[in-house]
Structure 1
C-alpha cells in the first residue's frame, strides 16, 4: 500500500545537552525541548499513597495507644445499643405471637404478687431482703 508512513531515517541528537531535533532545513533557530526529568503527577500521587499506606499501621498503633480507653468506651456503648435493639426486636417478635404475650403478662403479675407477699409485707422479711442485697453487693463490688 502506498499509504504507509515513512520512518525518519535519522535523528539529530545532542547527547551532551539531552535534546533531540528532527532533521529539517531550518531547525537551528527553533527552540529545543529539555529532557523530561520530572516525574508525572500520577506517579507522585501514587508514591504519596504508597508512603501513607506503608506508615498506616504505625499511625493506627499510636492512635490506639493514645486513645485506647476512649475507643473501648465507645465500642462498649455501641455494643450495648446493638444488644438493646436486638432484645427489643426479639421481644417485639414474641409479643406478636397471640397466646405467648398474655402468658408472659400472667407470669409477670404472678411473680410480682409472690415477691410482694414474700418480702415486702413483714418487717422481718424486708430485713432479710436487705441483707441479701448487701451480700450481693459485697460479692460483686467487694468491700
Structure 2
C-alpha cells in the first residue's frame, strides 16, 4: 500500500492566548461564519458593559433573591427541626426557662430594672449615636 499524501489544511495559526485558529477565507461558508464569530467574540464586552451600566439594580435584585433563598432555607430547617420528635417541646422548655431567668434577673427588683434600662440605653446609643445629629 502506498501512503496517501496528506492534504495540508489551509488555516492560519494564531499563537495569541484566547484566540482561535481561523480557517482560510477561501472557503465559501466563511462569509456566513465570520460575522457570527465576530459577534461571539464581542459577547464578553457586551456583558461587561451591561453589568457596568446596571450595577445597582443588579445588586438589588441579587440581594432580593438571596433574601428569598435565605427565608426558604430557614423555613426548611425549622420544618426539619419540627419533625424531630421531642425536640420542639425541649426547645419550648428552654425558652420558658430563659424567660423565667430574665424575669428573675432583671424585672423583679428595682435596681435590676434600672440596670436593664442603662444597658438598653447604652445599646441604643451604640446603634443610633449620641444625639439627633450623630
TM-score, length of structure 2 as denominator length: 0.58
Deviations 1:8-46 (Å, cap 9, x if unpaired)? xxxxxxxxxxxxxxxxxxxxxxxxxxxxxxx77x92xx4
Q: Secondary structure at 2:54's aligned position in 1?
A: helix
The runs of 5 or more residues in structure 1 that have no matched partner are 1-38
1:99 equivalent in alignment to 2:86: yes
How big is the shift at 1:57?
A: 1.4
Alignment of 1:67-82 (within 5 A): 67-82=54-69
Residue 43 of structure 2 is matched in structure 1 by 56
Greater displacement, 113-122 / 101-110 = 113-122
Determine the C-alpha separation between the residues in 1 that align with 2:49 and 2:83: 49
Q: Is the radius of gyration larger for structure 1 or structure 2? A: 1
How big is the shift at 1:95?
A: 0.8
TM-score, length of structure 1 as denominator length: 0.55
Aligned pair count reads 102
Change (3 A) 1:139 1:56: farther
Determine the C-alpha separation between the residues in 1 that align with 2:40 and 2:126: 49
What's the Cα RMSD here?
2.8
Determine the C-alpha separation between the residues in 2 that align with 1:49 and 1:139: 59
How big is the shift at 1:137?
A: 4.6
Change (3 A) 1:71 1:137: farther
How big is the shift at 1:141?
A: 6.0
Alignment of 1:1-143 (within 5 A): 43=32, 46-122=33-109, 124-139=111-126, 143=134
How big is the shift at 1:77?
A: 1.9
Q: Secondary structure at 1:98's aligned position in 2?
A: coil
